[in-house]
Amino acid sequence: MINLEEEVTDQPTQTLVNDTTAVVSLSQMNDKFLTQDGTNTGVGTINMTGNTFTNVSSPENDHDAANKVYVDNNAGISKRGGEMLGNLDMNNFRLTGLPPGLPEVGSDAVGWSQAVQLVKDSNKLCEEKR
């Protein structure tokens, strides 16, 4: 690990790394390492090799990372049920996996084959009553 003195300048510093003395400047280190205070920025992809970021706060800006709690509470539709509070634009996609048979309540969605069967059954009943 490279330890820097409290007062760091851009002057080259001799540092012992792997039993070899290396001369590096602060700007050279900033090109290779991210600082904890955020004074430099990462460029490119950071491969976490299966590790995680921890203690991430809730996002404040558009491109901030989000923690799991924030996503679970704000990601829109719950996979465990819930109530829609507005229109759902399917963007030309389909609802799939609807249960077979008749809907339990009048506002339940039905699949196409169920709707066709309901129309056929209705027509059959009308013909029988004639």
> Could you report the per-residue pLDDT of 17-63, keeping only the tens digit for each?
556 666 777 777 777 788 888 888 888 888 889 998 899 999 999 99
Confidence of residue 5 (pLDDT cuts 50, 70, 90): very low
Tally of domains in the chain: 1
- Label each residue of 52-102 as H, E or C: CCCCCCCCCCCCCCCCHHHHHHHCCCCCCCCCCCCCCCCCCCCCCCCCCCC
Q: Which residues contact 2 (CB under 8 A, 6 or more apart)?
A: 15, 17, 24, 29
d(CA 13, CA 22): 8
**Quick one: pLDDT at residue 130?**
75
Residue 126 domain-assigned (yes or no): no
**Quick one: pLDDT at residue 78?**
67
Residue 34 domain-assigned (yes or no): yes
Task: For the chain, state the CA radius of gyration.
Answer: 31
Residue 68 domain-assigned (yes or no): no
Strands 13-17 and 20-24: antiparallel
Average pLDDT in the 13-20 region?
58
Per residue in 81-130, pLDDT tens?
777 778 888 889 888 888 887 888 888 888 888 888 889 988 888 888 87
Give, as one character, the DSSP assignment of residue 32. Answer: H
Residue 16 domain-assigned (yes or no): yes
Residue 7 domain-assigned (yes or no): yes
Q: Are 2 and 19 in contact (CB under 8 A)?
A: no
Residue with tokens 């070899």: 20
Residue 14 domain-assigned (yes or no): yes
Residue 28 domain-assigned (yes or no): yes
- Least Cα distance to 2 among 11, 13, 10 occurs for 13
Residue 6 pLDDT > 50: no
Q: Which residue has the higher pLDDT, 66 or 39?
A: 66
d(CA 110, CA 97): 10
* Domain range for 16: 1-43
pTM recorded for the entire structure: 0.39
